[in-house]
Amino acid sequence: MKTEYGVLGTSIWQQNMSLLERLTINRDERDEILPKLKAYLGVDELIFLSTCNRVEFIYAAGSEAGSSRLLHKLIDFFCRDGRKLSFFPNDFYHYSGREAITHLFRTVSSLESLVVGETQITGQFKQAYQDAVACGIAGPALDDLSRQALTVAKQVKRDTKIGVGAVSMASLASDQLETIVKGGQVPTIALVGSGEMTSKVARYVREMGKADLVFVNRTEDKAEQLADKFGGRAIALCDFQAEPMPVDAIVSATAAIEPVFDGGFLARLKKYGRNVICVDLAIPRDFADVFGRDETVTLIDIHALKSRMQGNLRQKFVEAGKADEIVRRAVNRFVSDRIEVSLKPIFYDSYQESIELAREAIDDLFSNRKCKLPVEEKERVMRLVTRLVGHSAFQPARLLADRLAQSHTELNLGDAPVMRKAAL
């Protein structure tokens, strides 16, 4: 049966933040929702990748899955509770076959990131893959593809300078705080959430200068751990929402499915008469729309950070070209390996016939009295001949696979019966 690889998704490049938010599955709900989504789509394996600027569904499916219908099924699944999904057709992208493999290798290698060369995406994909395995929705096909994607990312990092001088979303967010941190006073900055992003922002701020850090989290124990690590105070999110202390900035990166800070919180915050920088690194967004309309707040979200990074790819044009070549070769190699697996059965019968002829020839040779050899020596010769025959018998499969992979012809990589029939 044919195995088809595909990627369905949307990203910040499509400019539809509400769609990005709607397709983001809360981490606490993934173990329950993702197996249902896999079954609904009718795919064999699935990986869910969600970052601050993309949501992707990476799948492996048999021919009966009908890739042309998967997007419609995905939309139906996320509209199953009666909520409408606002989008245009080009808000989604759907890659299959070679295009899907190329897109994944580029994504994991950070060539599709807002910040080209940042390394966070590689770790995020690795975690997404491990989560899919733990959840029981990924198997051998995506295991093979994922491992190769991570290998390519490692090679891009090792063999190019694309990561030199790269900045991350956390560093971009921290840059927005530089004015208040270096302004002469010691600012109070609330860091909301307990994930990797919060730790990175805390580290950047500490390197930048003095600041009174307040770590805010639903679970106060986690906030206290961050406060102990970076220095500062800890407070439970519910307490901060109910009675915020005077702050100069709030950086929020939670996994909440609804806004964490609403108009009521803004009213309580405004009583201190301060202008507050609010940096929203969450999808869905942590700050309600009212923050963007209030003159006492400077709201900076992922979309705004994206616009400040437009020059990143231009600065790394040469190194990105080198990385593209690494990806291109890796895609050809990956596709070629799978074509070779499909082609080998075609050559197997001739291999068996060649082995049988070789065995008969050796038996005839050593039946001659002048060529008597001990049994173990005869078997050693036979093993050598078998290896040579195998190499020559299957070498055409390797050469043909390489040629087909480089031709960019779309092939059903697992469809050996069809290829054998065509060859015969």
Give 1-15 pLDDT, tens digit per residue: 468 899 999 988 777
Q: Name the residue ranges covered by the structural domains of the chain.
A: 4-165, 169-306, 339-394
What pLDDT, on a 0 to 100 scale, did the predictor assign at position 316? 66
DSSP-derived letter for residue 292 is G
What pLDDT, on a 0 to 100 scale, did the predictor assign at position 135? 94
User: What is the percent of the chain with per-residue pLDDT over 70, rounded to a whole number?
Assistant: 79
- Establish how many alpha carbons lie within 13 A of residue 160's alpha carbon, considering only the half-sphere containing its beta carbon: 27
Is the predicted pLDDT of residue 376 greater than 60, yes or no? yes
Kindly report, residue by residue over 54-83, the tens digit of the pLDDT: 999 999 997 655 566 899 999 999 888 777
Is the predicted pLDDT of residue 418 greater than 50, yes or no? no
Sheet bearing 93-96, strands edge to edge: 45-50, 54-61, 4-11, 93-96
Radius of gyration of the chain (CA): 28
Pick from 61, 64, 31: which is nearest to 46 by CA?
Answer: 61
What pLDDT, on a 0 to 100 scale, did the predictor assign at position 233? 96
**52 counts as catalytic:** yes
- Is residue 348 classed exposed, middle or buried when 0-12, 13-18 and 19+ CB atoms within 10 A define those classes? middle
What pLDDT, on a 0 to 100 scale, did the predictor assign at position 213? 97
pLDDT band at 348 (very low <50, low <70, confident <90, very high): low
Kindly report, residue by residue over 108-150, the tens digit of the pLDDT: 999 988 778 888 899 999 999 999 999 999 999 999 999 999 9
What pLDDT, on a 0 to 100 scale, did the predictor assign at position 416? 43
pLDDT (average), residues 210-215: 96
- Is residue 117 classed exposed, middle or buried when 0-12, 13-18 and 19+ CB atoms within 10 A define those classes? buried
pLDDT (average), residues 282-307: 90
Is the predicted pLDDT of residue 45 greater than 50, yes or no? yes
The residue among 413 and 36 whose pLDDT is bigger is: 36
Q: Is 15 left (phi over 0), alpha (psi -120 to 50) or beta?
A: left
Is the predicted pLDDT of residue 199 greater than 90, yes or no? yes
C-beta of residue 34 within 8 angstroms of C-beta of residue 42: no
The residue among 154 and 319 whose pLDDT is bigger is: 154
CA distance 389 to 380: 14
pLDDT (average), residues 363-376: 65
Is the predicted pLDDT of residue 314 greater than 60, yes or no? no
Is the predicted pLDDT of residue 422 greater than 60, yes or no? no
Cβ neighbours of residue 97 closer than 8 Å, sequence gap 6 or more = 4, 5, 6, 410, 411, 413
Topology of the domain covering 169-306: Rossmann fold (3.40.50)
Pick 4-165's CATH classification: 3.30.70.260, 3.30.460.30, 3.40.50.300, 3.40.50.10860. Answer: 3.30.460.30
Residue tagged active-site, from 52, 79, 278, 371? 52
What pLDDT, on a 0 to 100 scale, did the predictor assign at position 399? 64
Q: Mean pLDDT highest for which of 18-22, 115-119, 259-263? A: 259-263
C-beta of residue 91 within 8 angstroms of C-beta of residue 14: yes
What pLDDT, on a 0 to 100 scale, did the predictor assign at position 83? 72
Mean pLDDT for the chain overall: 84
C-beta of residue 109 within 8 angstroms of C-beta of residue 126: no
C-beta of residue 279 within 8 angstroms of C-beta of residue 251: yes
Q: Which two tokens stand for residue 87?
A: 């989008």
The residue among 402 and 315 whose pLDDT is bigger is: 402
CA distance 205 to 232: 12
Q: Is the backbone peptide bond immediately before 284 cis, with ω within 30 degrees of 0? A: yes
Element (H, E) at 95: strand 93-96
